[in-house]
Amino acid sequence: MTPIERFGHLGRSPVQAVDQGDQPADQAAADARVRRAVARLAAVRERTLRVRTARAGDPRAGHRVDHYVFEHDGGELRAVMLTPAGPPPWPAVLVCPGRNATLERVTGLAPPDHPGRDVAAHLTAAGFRTLTLDHGLDRWADPAALGGRDSGDVLDATLRLHGGSLLAALAEDALAALGWLDADPDVDGVGLFGHSMGAAVALHAALLRDEPVPLCAASHLGTYQTMIGELLAWNQYVALPSILRHADLPDLYAALSPAPLQIQYGTSDARLDPADAAAAGERITRHYEPGRAEVLRLPMGHGTDLAEAAGFFTRTLAKPAAAEVAVPAARVFFDVRARLDVLDLVDDALATGSLTLGPTGARLEELASREIGRGTAAVSSGSSALEIALRIVGVAGRTVLVPANTFFATAASAVRAGAAVDFVDLEPDGLGMDPEGLRAALAAHEDVAAVVPVHLAGALPDSLADVLALCAERGVAVVEDAAHALGSSLGGRRAGTFGRLAAFSLYPTKVITSGEGGLLSALGQDDLDRARRLRDHGKRSFEENLHGDLGSNWRMSELHAAVGLTHLARLDEVLAERRALAARYDEGLAGVPALTRPALSPRCSTNHYKYLALLPEGTGREALKRRLRAAGVRLAGEVYDVPLHRQPYFAGRFRDRSFPRAEAFAARHICLPIFPGMTAAQQDRVVQALRDALS
Ligand SMILES: *Cc1c(COP(=O)(O)O)cnc(C)c1O
């Protein structure tokens, strides 16, 4: 294998594909794909640095000097911080030095051995607090033991044996150091500088970071084919293993768009090919937002132009632009670890050929049974879980009562199971089914087979007890539509354990997803066994082809189960994050008195599937949404904006009926965006945009 082959083969780079116009012109999507590939290949852990020792050195050139030793779960990291004279806050730059640099020389504590080596000292003189990392190569090995090999290569080879890579390990350090600077109250805005190998580290840290960061990269430009294949065969660790299956070096730089970027390269640099670097630079600037990427061709060797670097950070950091924080309506969030877990399970399924009703589905059911507190079967969707439950109850030819304010699937599943539906209005204060309305509906229909309460928005109302009592009195089965409520509980009792049967959805917008999928939980083992037969064409057993029941194909594939199992295993984290976000909204919205919150039972622990608020009477929701969109904020979808008796499918039959509380609620409520990974800045933005729009 030639050195370059270890990195895979690139058919055509994402930048070229967009340039040639036969990829979605959506460059942002191509960039995001590159960033995701880097995240997967690097598989870094989020680390928090803790200061083990901090020692003040002698001030140099008017700068304060601090020597740090940090620790994190991966070990130890040394760094030197230089702080300019003058009062805080300072913009900060994280400096990732080149392969042969020492901390002392980069920070000006020892004379430079190379043009531009003392970059940290120079940036601090220009007003930046700098933190310079010691990448720690060459300290650990006896040169004789290296046998003429580069210590980085030896270390990289060792890490690869454990499924890692040196570049990823160094980028992980840099990312943690950036996080440490971010958290420093004396720091206002951070940038990244890297030289040579340090530029590769800085580039990858920037790609792995969620928030954009200005990057200045010196003496690291070209295509991997030329750089690794011809020039740097001796230090291949400047690229991630297999990266060329996804992108080349210019694609990686381009994927940083729209964050400010400066790349410097020297025309007499023996470690790059100036023609190759120029072509790469051109690809990057063409792909980048106009004017946001500077590629500087400089009369220098393998060095750094200090004045250009300082100028770049002065332009991009000195007055931190009022960050344009965009807030999407929702986000499906699987971190890199979760994605790799899914890939392992999918790989198992493909390798064994066990693609449906296999071990992963069984593990998902086991975990779901534990989380819900009842025996649970995995099925193809929340809708099929509802339909199976209603078929088990036996609703054909009879009436099923559902809330007027729910998703279409609640009622449609009953219709498909052969029932006629009627609706029940919302309770006066809250999101539950109105017990008085239910009493009236039970009186109006002698043939009610089932009632389907819906835990709207993830909340379980106190009135659920009255609904259950009325149903028990009449001997009517309760099937919970718990599609919104995985992880919620009322008085310590979990959603999905109140009715004879319950249905959960694992659709992508729900709190836990399998892509498509659903869960059905049952009180009785007989019901659970029947559900498992019904989902598989009513087959009496897996081995025999005897069909005792009219079921359908409502199975969940192993590939979906892989996603669902991985996500469900993180339920506690997901709930904790949603609850923290909701608590933060509670605080922020105290400053937006125009909005009111629907009353939630103090006995309810909700999963915050939706964070609801009620608009003042007479406020137009569509106009409000337009104003918020203009401010970069998208609201989540309502639950629901059209009540079922007004849905075209039902409207004819219910022309003369009205459910006034459901109608008023449908018209008046909004759902604030709430999703794992949401930042405090995004939440503040939502609150501010609402305050502006409603004042
Ligand atoms: C999502 C949802 C369903 C249907 O679930 P699918 O998995 O999409 O079939 C049913 N009821 C409610 C209330 C839902 O929100």
Provide long-range contacts, Cβ within 8 A and 24+ apart, for 538-545: 542/357
Claim to verify: residue 512 and residue 625 sit in the same structural domain: no
* C-beta neighbour count of 346 within 10 angstroms: 18
Place of tokens 């200090």: 306
Cα separations in angstroms, 59 against 63, 95, 109, 546? 5, 19, 10, 85
Mean pLDDT (the chain, rounded): 92
Residue 398 pLDDT exceeds 80: yes
Better-scored residue on pLDDT, 194 or 324: 194
370/367 Cα distance (integer angstroms): 5
Claim to verify: residue 11 and residue 115 sit in the same structural domain: yes
Last residue of a domain, one of 551, 570, 589: 570
Sequence-distant (≥ 6) Cβ neighbours of residue 457 within 8 angstroms: 431, 484, 606, 609, 610, 612, 639, 671
Span 523-543, average pLDDT: 93
Q: Is 383 in the pocket of ligand 1 (CB under 6 A)?
A: yes
Query: β-strands 477-481, 448-451: how paired?
Result: parallel
Q: Residue 259 phi/psi, 5° resolution?
A: -65, 145
| 609 upstream amide cis, omega within 30 of 0 | no
Pick the atom of ligand 1 nearest to 384's CA.
9
What is the best residue among 387, 410, 501 to mutate for testing ligand 1's pocket, by most ligand atoms within 8 Å of CB?
410
pLDDT of residue 56: 94
pLDDT for 3-18, tens place per residue?
A: 677 777 776 677 666 6
| In contact, 220 and 238? CB cutoff 8 Å | yes
Claim to verify: residue 510 and residue 609 sit in the same structural domain: no
Q: Is 455 in the pocket of ligand 1 (CB under 6 A)?
A: no
396/511 Cα distance (integer angstroms): 31
How many A from CA of 346 to the centre of ligand 1? 25
Residue 320 pLDDT exceeds 50: no
pLDDT of residue 30: 87
Residue 147 pLDDT exceeds 50: yes
189/49 Cα distance (integer angstroms): 19
262/144 Cα distance (integer angstroms): 39
Q: Is 514 in the pocket of ligand 1 (CB under 6 A)?
A: no
538/550 Cα distance (integer angstroms): 5
pLDDT for 85-114, tens place per residue?
A: 989 999 999 999 998 888 999 999 999 888
How many A from CA of 657 to the centre of ligand 1? 25
Last residue of a domain, one of 316, 349, 372: 316
666/638 Cα distance (integer angstroms): 8
pLDDT of residue 238: 85
61/480 Cα distance (integer angstroms): 71
Tokens of 190: 């951070």
CATH of the domain at 460: 3.40.640.10
Span 131-153, average pLDDT: 72
Q: Is 530 in the pocket of ligand 1 (CB under 6 A)?
A: no
Q: Is 410 in the pocket of ligand 1 (CB under 6 A)?
A: yes
Q: Is 635 in the pocket of ligand 1 (CB under 6 A)?
A: no
Asked if the structure places residue 100 within a domain, the reply is yes
Element (H, E) at 121: helix 119-125
Claim to verify: residue 245 and residue 301 sit in the same structural domain: yes
Pick the atom of ligand 1 nearest to 456's CA.
13
pLDDT of residue 99: 84
590/687 Cα distance (integer angstroms): 10
How many A from CA of 541 to the centre of ligand 1? 28
Q: What residue type is assigned to position 520 of the chain? A: L
* C-beta neighbour count of 73 within 10 angstroms: 9
Claim to verify: residue 614 and residue 594 sit in the same structural domain: yes
Claim to verify: residue 100 and residue 217 sit in the same structural domain: yes
pLDDT for 43-81, tens place per residue?
A: 988 888 999 999 999 988 889 999 999 998 768 899 999
How many A from CA of 547 to the centre of ligand 1? 28
Residue 319 pLDDT exceeds 60: no
Span 23-34, average pLDDT: 79
Q: Residue 74 phi/psi, 5° resolution?
A: -85, -10
Q: Is 456 in the pocket of ligand 1 (CB under 6 A)?
A: no
CATH of the domain at 593: 3.90.1150.10
Residue 25 pLDDT exceeds 50: yes
Q: Is 480 in the pocket of ligand 1 (CB under 6 A)?
A: no
Assign 3-state DSSP to the chain and report helix, strand, coil percentages, each to 5.
40, 20, 40
Partners of 294 in the beta sheet?
262
Q: Could you tell me which of 281, 382, 406 has the C-alpha nearest to residue 665?
A: 406
pLDDT of residue 14: 72
Asked if the structure places residue 42 within a domain, the reply is yes
Claim to verify: residue 599 and residue 555 sit in the same structural domain: no
Computed from CA positions of residues 211, 215, 220, 226, in that sequence, does the dihedral angle turn out positive or negative?
positive
Give the orientation angle of helix 359-372 with respect to helix 558-568, to 10 degrees. Answer: 40
Claim to verify: residue 126 and residue 61 sit in the same structural domain: yes
Computed from CA positions of residues 240, 242, 244, 246, in that sequence, does the dihedral angle turn out positive or negative?
negative
Query: β-strands 187-195, 129-134: how paired?
Result: unpaired
The pLDDT-based confidence of 322 (bands split at 50, 70, 90) is: very low
**Could you tell me how many residues make up the chain?**
695
Residue 187 pLDDT exceeds 80: yes
The pLDDT-based confidence of 547 (bands split at 50, 70, 90) is: very high
pLDDT of residue 153: 75
| In contact, 607 and 458? CB cutoff 8 Å | yes
Tokens of 588: 């922020």
Pick the atom of ligand 1 nearest to 406's CA.
13
CATH of the domain at 190: 3.40.50.1820
How many A from CA of 273 to the centre of ligand 1? 57
| In contact, 385 and 416? CB cutoff 8 Å | no
Q: What residue type is assigned to position 112 of the chain? A: P
The pLDDT-based confidence of 161 (bands split at 50, 70, 90) is: confident
The residue whose C-alpha atom lies closest to atom 2 belonging to ligand 1 is: 483
Residue 563 pLDDT exceeds 60: yes
Asked if the structure places residue 108 within a domain, the reply is yes
557/359 Cα distance (integer angstroms): 11
Span 594-613, average pLDDT: 96
Helix, strand, or coil (residue 386): helix
Place of tokens 């580069």: 150
557/562 Cα distance (integer angstroms): 9
Pick the atom of ligand 1 nearest to 385's CA.
9
90/84 Cα distance (integer angstroms): 8
pLDDT of residue 69: 94
The pLDDT-based confidence of 306 (bands split at 50, 70, 90) is: very high
Sequence-distant (≥ 6) Cβ neighbours of residue 664 within 8 angstroms: none
Claim to verify: residue 359 and residue 503 sit in the same structural domain: yes
Better-scored residue on pLDDT, 39 or 161: 39
Tokens of 293: 């990427």
Sequence-distant (≥ 6) Cβ neighbours of residue 370 within 8 angstroms: none
| In contact, 447 and 428? CB cutoff 8 Å | no
Asked if the structure places residue 282 within a domain, the reply is yes
Give the orientation angle of helix 27-42 with respect to helix 197-208, to 10 degrees. Answer: 110
How many A from CA of 326 to the centre of ligand 1? 28
Claim to verify: residue 250 and residue 183 sit in the same structural domain: yes
How many A from CA of 463 to the centre of ligand 1? 22
Q: Is 610 in the pocket of ligand 1 (CB under 6 A)?
A: no
Query: β-strands 611-614, 420-424: how paired?
Result: unpaired
pLDDT for 113-137, tens place per residue?
A: 888 999 999 999 999 999 999 987 7
Claim to verify: residue 536 and residue 645 sit in the same structural domain: no
Claim to verify: residue 351 and residue 435 sit in the same structural domain: yes
Asked if the structure places residue 330 within a domain, the reply is no
Q: Could you tell me which of 675, 342, 646, 656 has the C-alpha nearest to residue 515?
A: 342
| In contact, 41 and 159? CB cutoff 8 Å | no
How many A from CA of 503 to the centre of ligand 1? 9
Q: Is 609 in the pocket of ligand 1 (CB under 6 A)?
A: no
Span 338-363, average pLDDT: 96
Pick the atom of ligand 1 nearest to 516's CA.
7
pLDDT for 405-445, tens place per residue?
A: 999 999 999 999 999 999 999 999 899 999 999 999 999 99
Asked if the structure places residue 461 within a domain, the reply is yes
| 299 upstream amide cis, omega within 30 of 0 | no
How many A from CA of 209 to the centre of ligand 1? 34
Q: E strands of 442-549, at which residues?
A: 448-451, 477-481, 489-490, 493-494, 501-505, 518-522
Asked if the structure places residue 328 within a domain, the reply is no
Asked if the structure places residue 329 within a domain, the reply is no
Residues of the domain holding 300:
3-316
| In contact, 398 and 448? CB cutoff 8 Å | yes
Sequence-distant (≥ 6) Cβ neighbours of residue 388 within 8 angstroms: 379, 520, 531, 534, 535, 551, 554
606/603 Cα distance (integer angstroms): 9
How many A from CA of 42 to the centre of ligand 1? 36
Q: Is 511 in the pocket of ligand 1 (CB under 6 A)?
A: no
Span 459-480, average pLDDT: 98
The torsion region of residue 547 among left (phi > 0), alpha (psi -120 to 50) and beta comes to beta
139/406 Cα distance (integer angstroms): 64
Span 396-412, average pLDDT: 98
457/506 Cα distance (integer angstroms): 15
The residue whose C-alpha atom lies closest to atom 5 belonging to ligand 1 is: 382
149/144 Cα distance (integer angstroms): 10
Q: Which of 218-222, 287-291, 529-533, 640-644 has the lowest average pLDDT?
A: 287-291
| In contact, 441 and 474? CB cutoff 8 Å | no
Place of tokens 């609201």: 635
How many A from CA of 341 to the centre of ligand 1? 26
Count of the separate structural domains present in the chain: 3
How many A from CA of 616 to the centre of ligand 1? 29
pLDDT of residue 233: 60
pLDDT of residue 152: 78
Computed from CA positions of residues 266, 177, 120, 190, in that sequence, does the dihedral angle turn out positive or negative?
positive
* C-beta neighbour count of 307 within 10 angstroms: 11
Last residue of a domain, one of 570, 592, 608: 570
